[in-house]
Amino acid sequence: MFKGFRDFVLRGNVIDLAVGVVIGAAFGAVVTSFTTNVLTPFIAALVGKPDFSYLGFTLNGSRIMIGAFLNALISFLLVAAAIYYFVVLPVNAFMTRMKKAEAPPPPGTKKCPECLSEIPIDARRCAYCTTPIASGAHA
């Protein structure tokens, strides 16, 4: 039973996924820090508040923190934009380049050398003008 678990954990996909999760969490922390410590204080300075994260209002004795929500929303949008532009678009472009163009299917008809009508590729005589067609005559 331990051997099966070890084989599962050491399989490439599991390790790749674990690395991706750790890097994603670290990237999320960096973006959250940027949003909280740089971007929203800059926006708050434009609005005239000392700190953007403390924007809110009181409703029936409960404090509703709109600034904290906006911090989280801006962080999410920055992470989503970074993932889209730095992961999704390059992978899609790479997959498009790697996809080979499909070869067109072989022709099923050929032109009669006499009347230029479309006839089956294996025909030995034109159905329209009855001209005999050489077996190797592909127009």
All domains of the chain, ordered by start, with CATH? 2-98 (1.10.1200.120), 105-139 (no CATH)
pLDDT in tens, the chain (139 residues): 778 877 776 776 777 788 788 888 898 888 888 887 888 778 777 877 666 677 788 899 998 888 888 888 888 888 888 888 988 898 888 888 877 767 778 888 888 888 888 988 888 888 888 888 886 544 4
> How many whole angstroms from its chain centre is CA 68?
30
Determine whether 112 is exposed, middle or buried from the number of CB atoms within 10 Å of its CB (0-12, 13-18, 19+): buried
pTM for the complete prediction?
Answer: 0.52
